Each structure stands twice: as structure tokens, then as C-alpha cells.
Structure 1
Amino acid sequence: TAVCNATGLVPQSGGLAFPPASRFELAQVCKPKAAGGMLEQAGVTEVVSSVFRDGRDVPHHLALGTYVVVEGETDYARRCFKEYAMLPDQSGRYAALYRPIHMIGLELGISVASAALRREPTGAPTGFRSDVVATAKRALKRGEVLDGEGGYCVWGKQVPAERSLAEGLLPLGLAHGVPLKRDIGEGESLKWHDVVYDESDIAVKTRRDMEAAFALSSGRSDACLAPMAAR
């Protein structure tokens, strides 16, 4: 979601599918369906799984890494895929670059120092394109108190921001310590009106202000962040 909001990539309509793939299969799997892959379209985000659906480990998986799949639009670009030992798909038109380790804990301190001392952000949102909404891990009962990310009640599902705003979906980050007002079925995405929340909470107020700002932007999920900054 952060990648979408900072780069211009968009989420797939059904969110992340987590297809199993080794690092050698990234370009074959993570390309548009029209080209023989599993993505809804070009220019979207996806996460690959390190285990098959039956629980077996994927050989040469990328559990702790990051990757990007690019399309070579010219003969020269596609020739470079081979010359630079990239990992192409079967057609040779798509290729993957990857890092085997994502050292987020070590990198975080550098990002904080860079932003605070040099006013240089590692990344910054340019629009509201993607959201992560609370989705029931199991059947939930009225009166249960949600325990947030990593708990037993909900998991985070990536959805297009436009849908999140239109349906009033509850962001995962605010699905903690709030009781349910009705029963929720397994796999159902929660909405604001499904929970009792504190309207005076600073995090809730900030989120609601953001939603209001983008709702006023003619429903455009790629709207500039300026309206929110001016509030």
C-alpha cells in the first residue's frame, strides 16, 4: 500500500493474491494475465508466497526479500536482460530484479535521520491509491473487542482507496481496542459503522479528516495530497 501511494502503482481489485513463486519464477508469475502471468494488469503490486498451498516450501523462495518485475519494450532492453544476468520470463520480454534480504529494521534508523537532519524523505505519498482494511480472520461476535494487526480477530486486506472510501471500510491500523456492534462473518471486511470508536482520538480524527479531503476530490484516488496538508 505504501508503495502504491508513493509511486503511482495501483492495487489489484481483489487485493494481493500471494501466488507461490521462486526467485527464478518472479517474471513468469508477476506479469499481466494477458501475457501469461497472474496479475490483473500491468502497473500493480503483488506479494509472492514462500510456501505452496499444501504447505510445502517453495525452493529458492524470496521470503525476506524484495523485487520488481519490468517489461523490456525494445529489443535492446530485452537483450540487456540476458547481458546483465537478470531473471527473465519464458518470453524474454519481462525480467525480475530482486534483493534477497529486506533489512527494514536497520534501514529505518537511516530514514529517520535523513528526514530529521537533512529533510530528505526515503519516500513520500503522492496520492491515496491503496488502503489496508480490517478483515475478519474468523466469525466474530457482537461485543468482541478487536485486537488489531497480528491479533486473533482481523488481518489486513489491500483494496483500492476508492473502494475503501466509497464503502466506509475500517483501516487495519485503527482496528484495535474497539468493540463490535454486530456479528461479522469470516472473510468480511469491516466498516466504520461496525465498531464503537472514539471520535476524539487523534488517530481517528486524522484519518477521518484524510477521508473527507479525498472524498471532496471528485472521487479521484490519485488526487494530490495538498487538500489534506492545508487542513
Structure 2
Amino acid sequence: MYLAQVLKTPGVHLVAIADLSPSRAMQNLQRVGWNERQYAAGSIAEALKHGTTFVTDDWQTLTTHPEITIIAECTGNPIAAVEHCLSAFANGKHVINVTVEADALCGSMLAEKARSADVIYSLAYGDQPALACDLVDWARAAGFPVVAAGRGHKWLPKFRESTPETVWEHWGVTADQARIGGMNPKMFNAFLDGTKPAIESAAIANATGLGVPEDGLSFPPGSVEDIPTLMRPREEGGALERKGIVEVISSLRLDGTPVPYDIRKGVWVSFEGDTDYIRRCFKEYQVVTDPSGRYMSSYKKWHLIGLELGISVASIGLRREATGAPICFNGDVVATAKRNLAAGEILDGEGGYTVFGRLMPAARSLARGHLPLGLAHSLKLVRAIAKDEPLTWSDVIIDQASSAYQLRKEMERRLANTA
């Protein structure tokens, strides 16, 4: 999606693309309107000389070249993403991390490594976490106490058990439509089964300082105009366990019927009119509030994903300002058994057949030794795990040599020492 926009953006040169399959990358360039004169498989030097885009399968060529300023990490693979980010930082490059799975895994350490290298680490504008951070920043800068923030989602409890084989029947497209559109069933299933909302909620919490619900996301259903009423504390008639947390609002009622004017594709912030004067302002301007007139919300109903990524590029390139970045580690996403798992089975990560991601307060996750979802790829189980049981480090055989494992453990040790 960004490739479809970048040629129309003045002042930006997409120098190079690294892909496991350069031929597939070139096909995607053609698919979004590039012509063959605009890209090549020559070299970065030629691309810089002629204003073209170099396509390669060697990612280190991109992270080490001195004339490349910003790296967009968009593999979707958290283990690879950590390695790419660290290499970019070491070579003085800013990073836009589209791979939010890596941010949920060890984002606060990635941000710290970037600061140490005097470069910028940023969430990707267009994805919901960065957009939610933007709304939270707006509310706080305007002087409003933030009650909650988050995103929308199409959710029913039964979706938790969905696999790549069942995703399309729930998603709303046919298997043929998905195939023609190049839609990856495992990736889309990570959204459907609640994993991606957990990951993105963790990213929002860690970039804003908001907390996470003690028992995980509850997905209350509601429309855009229901947000001020839903996103207030339970003792005041809302769905929040307390003020100052993240949550996700469902576009489906529990009986499966759709909520009109939903926030499924968008983000929102709920905030408080904490004085009589401000509540009178709400009333005078006839904004939608909860019945008490105390709580209001702002929202962006749509996110356009890669079509909006240029905002991060411009923000970093011109302002040296991230579009959202971790400032703490409040929320963790824990690998949880999607079904009864047997000893010897191999975990298949986000959106697969074996595990889903559950949002949990980071302090609880670390105290109990839970396995972060971002590392639950190709790991062998050493014991049987019951359905809905969170996994722990001791339940798997893991490669301790990976940069992702080492950075996560460095973050855990640092937090333990701080505590």
C-alpha cells in the first residue's frame, strides 16, 4: 500500500526494497502501478544515481548503506524484525516499525537502543496503535484526563478458536475472493482470533502509559456514539474495570448481529470533563456524551494502513518526531493454548492452529514467567498444555541465540532490577 503512494510524495526517494523473493516484490510494484524503468535489480548506487528503486534479497544492504536515512520494517515477523531494527540503529538509521508484533515483544528496549544510537524508533502511522496514540496526545495536550483508548474489532468469543481454515467464513469474504486479493489467511486469522487486537492494545498501552485490564480485553459491543457511555468505569455504568486503561470495542453484539455505525476499522479515545465548566461546554456544543454529561470521546473511524505510512516518513524526516513510540512496559501479550496441546507439538505463532495472544499486565506476565507470543514460532512443547492455559518459558525449547530472545531477556532483567 505504501508503494502505491510513495511515488506521489515529493521529497521522498524509496531507495531500495529487501524481500525474500525479489521477483515477487517486483510483481507487487507492477501491481500498484510502477513501470519497469522505476525499479531494478542492479545496486543501491545505481538507484541513487538514477532515482530508481533497487530490489534485493539482502536486507543488510539496506540497513548498512550510508545514504539511506529511514528503514520501514514491514516483514510481520517479530524475530526477524528485531534483528533488522538493531542493525538499522547500529548504522545510524531511523526505523518505522510496522511489525507491531516486535513492538509488543520488546518495544521499550528497541526504543532505548534507538535513543542510545541517537536515532528515532517509531510506530507506523496508518496502523491503529499510532493513530490511537495521536488521539491520546491530542486529548492530553488539550488538557483532558484520558479515561481509555483503543481500537475497534469484529469480535465474538467463538472467534478465539478460529484457524486459517475457518477465517474467511467469519471474516466476510469467500476463499476465492481472498485468494484473488492475495490475502494471507494466517495473518488475517491473527486479527480474527483476538491476537492482533491484544498486540495492538499492548502497543497503545506501552506508548501512552495507559494500563491494561487485569483479566484481558473484554470487547464490549458498541457504536461510535456509544463510546462515551461504554468507556467509563463499571461503577458509573460503563464497561471499564477502572479509568486509564486500553480496551477494544466490538462491532458485533453477542448474538452475532452487527452494531450500526461501528468503530471496527477505527480508533478512539475517551476523556473526561472534570469540571462543571467543561461539562457545560460539552452541552453547549451539543457533543455526544454519556448520560451524565461527564464523558466524551473523539475517534477516527477508518485507518488506511500503508496508504498513510508516509505520515511517519514525513514526521521523522522533517520533524525528527516519532508517530508513537514505547515509553514503558505496561502490557504484554502471552502465548495461550488455542486447543489442548500435546507434548512434542510445534507452535506456529500468531494466527495459526496452536496459540492465540492474550493481553496481560506486564508485571503479572513477568512474575509468572509467561512466554511472550512474539517468540512462539517453531518452538517445541515439552509438556501438554490445556486449552486456554497461558504458556511459560519452561514449556518450550527455545533458541537463546536470537537477537529477539536476548533483547526480551535484557528487558525483563532490567525491569526486575528496577522493581
Q: Is TM-score (shorter-chain normalized) higher than 0.5?
A: yes
Maintained 8 Å contact 1:11/1:160:
yes
Shift, 1:112, TM fit: 4.2
Mapped to 2, the partners of 1:153 and 1:133 lie a distance apart of: 13
Match of 2:363 among 134, 137, 162: 162
- Report the CA distance shift for 1:19/1:101 in structure 2 as closer, same or farther (over 3 A): same
The match for 1:208 is 409
Deviates more, 1:116-125 or 1:185-194: 116-125
Distance 1:104 1:79, change over 3 A: farther
* Higher helix proportion (structure 1 or 2): 2
* Secondary structure of the structure 1 residue equivalent to 2:269: strand
Paired residues in the alignment total: 218
Q: Is the 8 A contact 1:78 1:92 kept in 2?
A: yes
Task: Note closer, same or farther for the CA distance 1:145–1:166 as it changes in structure 2 (3 Å cut).
Answer: same
What is the aligned partner in structure 1 of residue 305 from structure 2? 104
Q: Offset of 1:82 from its aligned partner?
A: 3.3
Secondary structure (helix, strand or coil) at the match of 1:61 reads coil
| Amino acid of the structure 1 residue aligned with 2:246 | T
Q: Which residue of 2 aligns with 1:138?
A: 339
Distance 1:103 1:173, change over 3 A: same
The yes-or-no answer on 1:153 pairing with 2:354 is yes
1:23 equivalent to 2:210? Answer no
Q: State yes or no: 1:129 paired with 2:330.
A: yes
Does 1:115 pair with 2:316? yes
1:9 and 2:210 are equivalent in the alignment: yes
Amino acid at match of 2:265: L
In structure 2, give the amino acid aligned to 1:98. Y
SS for the counterpart of 2:235 is: helix
- Report deviation, 1:110: 2.9
CA distance in 1: counterparts of 2:319 and 2:330, whole angstroms: 28
Provide Cα deviations, 1:3-44, integer angstroms capped at 9, x if missing partner. 211211100111110011111111111111121111110001
Cα distance, 1:55 vs structure 2 = 1.5
Q: How many Å apart are 1:106 and its aligned residue?
A: 2.4
CA distance in 2, matches of 1:15, 1:37: 16
- What is the rounded CA distance, in whole Å, between the counterparts of 2:210 and 2:329 in structure 1? 11
Cα gap change, 1:56 to 1:202, in 2 (>3 Å): same
- Whole-Å separation in 2 of the counterparts to 1:113 and 1:82: 37
Q: Which runs of 4+ in 1 moved over 4 A?
A: none
Deviations 1:96-155 (A, max 9, x none): 111110223223343245336653211222211111111111111111111111112111
Name the residue aligned to 1:199: 400
Q: For the residues of structure 1 that align with 2:296 and 2:280, how far apart are their CA atoms?
A: 11
Report the Cα distance in structure 2 between the residues aligned to 1:79 and 1:60, rounded to whole angstroms.
27
Which structure would you say has the larger Rg? 2
Task: Measure the CA separation in 2 of the matches of 1:132 and 1:112.
Answer: 28
Contact in 2 for aligned 1:144/1:180 (Cα 8 Å): yes
Counterpart of 1:180 in structure 2 is 381
Q: In 2, Cα distance between the equivalents of 1:36 and 1:77? A: 21
Distance 1:106 1:80 in 2: 36
Alignment-derived partner of residue 73 in structure 1: 274
- Corresponding letter in the other structure for 1:131: D
The one-letter code of the counterpart of 2:271 is: V
In structure 2, runs of 5+ residues without a counterpart are 1-201
Contact 1:86 1:97 in 2 (8 A): no
Q: Secondary structure at the match of 1:209?
A: helix
Q: Which runs of 5+ in 1 are unaligned?
A: 219-231
Q: CA distance change for structure 1 residues 84 and 147 in 2, over 3 Å: closer, same or farther?
A: farther
Distance 1:88 1:107 in 2: 30
The aligned counterpart of 2:237 is 36
CA pair 112-183 structure 1, distance change in 2 beyond 3 A: farther
Tell me if structure 2 keeps the 8 A contact 1:69–1:97: yes
CA spacing shift, 1:99–1:170, aligned 2, 3 Å = same
Q: For residues 84 and 94 of structure 1, what CA distance do their matches in structure 2 show?
A: 14
**Once the 2 structures are TM-superposed, how far is the Cα of residue 76 of structure 1 from its aligned partner?**
2.1
Give the 3-state SS of the residue equivalent to 2:397 in structure 1.
coil
User: TM-score scaled to structure 1, two decimals?
Assistant: 0.89
**Rounded Cα–Cα distance in structure 1 between residues aligned with 2:355 and 2:260:** 30
TM-score, length-scaled by structure 2: 0.50
- CA distance in 2 between counterparts of 1:109 and 1:148 reads 29
Contact 1:70 1:95 survives alignment (8 Å) = yes
